[in-house]
Structure 1
Amino acid sequence: MEAGVRTLLVWCPDWPVVAAEIADGVPADAPVVVMAANRVLACSEGARREGIRRGIRRREAQSLCPRVIVVEHDPGRDARAFEPVVAAIEDVVAGIEVIRPGACAVAARGPARYFGGEEAAAERIVEQVAQTCAVECQVGIADGVFAAGIAARTGIVVGAGDARGFLSSVPISALEKPDLTDLLKRLGVETLGQFAALPASDVLTRFGFEGALAHRLASGSDHRPLAVRQPPLDLAVEETYDDALDRVDVAAFAGRALAEQLHERLAAHGLACTRLGIEAVTGDGQELYRVWRHDGMLTAAAIAERVRWQLDGWLTGARRGAMSGPTAGLVRLRLVPDGVMVHVGLQPGLWGETGAERERAHRAFSRVQGLLGPDSVVTMVLGGGRSADDQVRLVPWGDEREPARPAAEHREPIPGVVTEPLLGKLASVTHLRPIHVLSKSENSEMFEKGRGVASKGEGESGAREAGEREAGAREAGEREAGTREAGKKGAGNGRGRVKRGREGAPSWPGRFPRPSPAIVLPEPLPAVVRDAAGRIVGVSARLELTGEPATLAIERGQAVAITGWAGPWPADERWWAPEEARRRARFQMTTEDGRALMVSLAQGRWLVEAIYD
């Protein structure tokens, strides 16, 4: 089995007790126990001398030592107290991974080569922590994090390749998996060596993934590489000047060079900042500091401009005798970026950054509206609706962009079930069509390809079509009558109200699921959907299809095979107003020629309403 990487692990004994001493002033030389879930999580050396051990209950610990100090466990306190220890170790070695508060690990190869050996590196780290933080720690070195952690308990260095032999005599409880270790003990497995001797396949079959992972650790291997902690980048730039800067033009020139240096350093790391700290030190030791904030990314010119403004304010204030100004010329400048973020995460507006560009665009659009009328420049507002053709409203530029029909968040059609539209799984649609508004004459040209002979048997099924339409109309009438009756009953007891979503917006039940189509046709195109037997597909009042959709013919064009479909999604709108009522079933369909369409069936007629990219 593959051995783990040589790892140096730093372990601070009884860290919860030490953290309580650092944060709360608890005397660590007295009997102290840290409790978690009414059991002892950690105890001091004085408590151990009284017979207290980890895992016993509070009452038992207090019976062994009535004067014991009980402290409740606080993981946040442990982490905060351990941070200075990690920072002290980072001053000596790099690439630290914090295992838990009180233990951290680092790859041993680098420190060993730098300090002249693994033992020398361990001694240097122990000395650094003791001098910097006044905390006792022990270091263990072995192949893998788990073996190094066991070695750190006694402060030894395990030779390369000897991790499995070193772990063979360690009790099985060292795995710190109570359920697994209790079961192994009942089966007669007392040590890690006995556990590692079992076949790995049998362990996986009997104990599952957790047992297989524990078996790998007991065999001296690691389940993952070290996830080292990256120290924060030092992005600040500074410059010291032999001649004090007491003139604004000289200071501004020096500040511009420093600003360009800061911008290049941020760009090299793919970062940008939104706040800038400017520090200055005068010839007599006075320190000045200001923070500038910007709405957007600070470019090199913007940084230089703010540095010039601040230096001008400081030096001009000094000449005028202001109390807050510098008392001498500036001998050191330092720029500290604040509010640092990844550059791609700060998305500028359509017209560039906020400010003059947006104002110029607004003036240009207003000029066009003055020449051609208010409706010549419009913006889209997405509102409520159940289909793609009634959710978008065009608003003249400058008017309030409020939807005419508000809507709640677009949720999945079935609560608790995430819809995965068929269109998102297609690999055949590799082309992209430009998104533009089609004129009435262009509707038919959209499907010019393949137009020609109508499907055979279309005339023979005309009578059947009429019969099916008549039956569908009767079913629709019965359903509408039942729905109206239910609505009247619900109005009396308050159950007939419109369902509301977040912040009182209507949820629009029956809304078409995502994704939204790219092109909505101004006038839907007539179509015919048939099953494998050539019969026109219909939808009953119970939303049951009369057949499996097999082919799609658009505007008497040649029938194209349907490769996938989803639906139906019903919409029964304004049933209380017969002249405005619209009842239809909608589908998403893909055809073998690569098209993805939104198709609907209303009053026995199939229509193509929208096109997907």
Structure 2
Amino acid sequence: MSAQRVLALWCPDWPASAAAADSNLAPDVPVAVLHANRVVACSASARRSGVRRGMRKRQAQAACPEMVLAGADADRDGQQYEPIVAAVMEVVPVVEVLRPGLLVIPLTMSLCRHLGDEQVIAERLTDVVGSCGAEALAGIADEMFTAVLAARRGQCVEPGGDAAWLAPLPVAELAVEPCFGGPERAELVDLLRRLGITTIGVFAGFPIRDVATRFNADAVAAHRLANAAPARGPVGGRIEEDLVIEYDCDPQIDRVDAAAFVGRRLADELHRRLAAVSMSCTRLTVEAVTELGQRHSRTWRAVTPLTADDMACRIRWQLDGWLTGGRTTRDHRTDVRRPDSPIALLRIDPVEVIDSGTLHYTLSGYGLPESEMDSERARTALARVQGLLGGDAVKIPVLSGGRGPADRIRLVTLGEDPVPQGDPLAPWPGRLPQPAPATMTEVAVAVLDPEGDPVRVSARGAFSAEPALVVGSRKWSVRWWAGPWPTGLDADGTEVSARAQILLDDSRALLLHYREGSWTIEGIYE
């Protein structure tokens, strides 16, 4: 059991609440937030109409036609949540933000002596959030994970009773908050269900040695949560003072874009310093000091190590919310004390770190192995190129849905939401079978039969004759072929378009595309 208790404050459906506040909508207007054409959050009024998380956009609109739709926006969520954190910090001195919409507070003995018992503090803080125009539920427990699950039910767990309280909960609760799990947590939950393990208590009853042998590092972390073991243990600690970053702002900062630019630089610098000493940050304090001495400080906690992008996002959310002021809705307005003068000093303090050697890596990439560090370097380099050449100059591929290989990749500007053009998990009848070509190209060629006549695709979706030669820059003999696979009619509706795979005499394999009566090489297999 922890030496002190933890209080969690959870704002239900926060992305939907933030979207409503950003658009100045009335509280009873149904709102849904979409990502990749699916509902990721919805308001209570939308749920009453039958909208559920995971629904497709069309299903959600059919259930609630009057619903307002908004795209997922982490910056908006963080900016709208900042005034609520500020209001809570007017009552309690220490607040740690797990994510926008969820924060935790250590219930120290001094805090309880000053404000009253646990229930009194919980009621007071939920009232504070309510005065900001948002709804909140409070949960209290010995461990942070238990307190968060208790907050989702508005309950208080008895001291020493975390494990017993968790035991009857569905095992899916282990994945309900992504901030407590790795990217494989949903897969772990699905596997446990298929093995007949339906409750947290059953999973907690397995010996830790068996869990570590059968599953990966994330399963071991989930097993610790299920047993209400301390979430961090002895790995947390203070960073050396010479790694704390203080930046004298010259010129001083009074605009959000300038704050975001400086925050990105500081995040990159802190990430490099920590990597140089093989450390990773799990709790970050961002403090801004104005020219007249006003201070604004927040502590951000993460269960998995913060990347440079994570740090930059949290700095931007905090300063954006402070510089732009209160959160406004139709019926409520929360006035946040804005800076009394431009920001003159920024201080980035990684108040809790872990040694990189304590991270357990798996072949699936959990943690921050060297490949992830390489990805961080690549993202930093791309961001610099984008700054030199313009926002649309750097694009990244996103797996999408489609029938041809070119249709299955969508190029998205770096920094934008990587939303696919179509659902990559949809059936897509007529889709090219795996494997996909290693190289995409578009080179016109002729496909000839043994007599030297052009090979076409008939209206019935068959070759007019057996392919024997492919003629491009030179002639290649055909050793093997597969297809054709019709993909539809041409633009004028008179001829069938199709794809075929061809193995040449030099052992190269090609993907050919037939349309408008001619052939092109669409891809090359390795």
**TM-score (normalised: structure 1):** 0.37
If asked which structure has higher relative contact order (CA below 8 Å, sep 6+), I would say 2
Structure showing greater radius of gyration is 1
**TM-score (normalised: structure 2):** 0.43
